[in-house]
């Protein structure tokens, strides 16, 4: 795979732009970390998820929905959206589009326990598409991660979980407040 890497400014350039404050080293490291995380996210999208879309017609959102349903089974839209990390309205729009396809990958059925709600589940076609897509997808992910040793991958996972604010207690780390909850203003 040939990755299109984004140019990241050197620390010296970041420091010049930030200024010579007493906290410049710490703040510059944070800026550099954020730039590398953003750039890596773009690489993942461009190299990993783009291949799913080109090869199987699966956008990142569709793939996420299918994988949640594969893992969790039938779910109401609200629970599905929570597992996907999107709003129920966003999940509903995605579902409406997916259900209107000539060969739907998901289906909607009435809940047996609550006649007012519906459950979303994979169709046989959705399950078969994942079975075809996953071997190549996992191979691309493995190749992408192969620049790091297994121990480095585990260390990175631990650090990202700490930064993300989830799972710290399981790792014996002090619980961190999730970055999203530290925002002063809601995202626009």
CATH (residue range 20-144): 1.10.10.10
Strand 118-122 to strand 106-110: parallel, antiparallel, or no bridges (unpaired)? antiparallel
- What pLDDT band is residue 179 in, cutting at 50, 70 and 90? very low
Domain spans of the chain, in order of start:
20-144
Give the model's pLDDT for residue 4. 52
Question: pLDDT digit string (tens) for 4-50?
Answer: 555 666 666 666 666 656 555 556 778 888 888 998 888 888 888 99
Give the residue-averaged pLDDT of 49-77: 93
* Contact criterion met (CB below 8 Å) for 39 and 47: no
DSSP-assigned letters across all residues of the chain: ----PPP---HHHHHHHH-S-TTHHHHHHHHHHHHHHHHHHHHHIIIIIHHHHHHH---HHHHHHHHHHHHH-SB-HHHHHHHHTS-HHHHHHHHHHHHTSSS-SEEEEE-SS-TT-EEEEE-HHHHHHHHHHHHHHHHHHHHHHTTS-HHHHHHHHHHHHHHHTSSTGGGTPPPPPPGGGG-SS---
How confident is the model at residue 14, as a pLDDT?
61
Q: How confident is the model at residue 169 (pLDDT cuts 50, 70, 90)?
A: low
């Amino acid at each position: 795979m040939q990755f299109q890497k984004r140019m990241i400014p050197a620390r010296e350039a970041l420091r010049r732009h930030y200024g010579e404050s007493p906290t410049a080293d710490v703040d510059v490291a944070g800026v550099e970390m954020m730039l590398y995380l953003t750039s890596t996210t773009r690489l993942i999208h461009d190299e990993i998820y783009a291949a799913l879309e080109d090869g199987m017609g699966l956008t990142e959102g569709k793939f996420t929905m299918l994988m949640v349903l594969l893992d969790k089974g039938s779910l109401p839209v609200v629970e599905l959206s929570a597992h996907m990390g999107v709003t129920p309205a966003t999940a509903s729009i995605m579902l409406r589009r997916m259900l209107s396809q000539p060969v739907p990958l998901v289906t909607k059925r009435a809940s047996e326990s609550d006649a007012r709600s519906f459950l979303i589940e994979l169709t046989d076609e959705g399950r078969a598409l994942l079975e075809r897509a996953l071997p190549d997808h996992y191979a691309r992910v493995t190749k992408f991660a192969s620049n790091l040793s297994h121990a480095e991958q585990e260390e990175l996972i631990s650090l990202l979980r700490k930064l993300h604010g989830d799972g710290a207690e399981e790792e014996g780390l002090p619980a961190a407040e999730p970055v999203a909850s530290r925002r002063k203003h809601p995202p626009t």
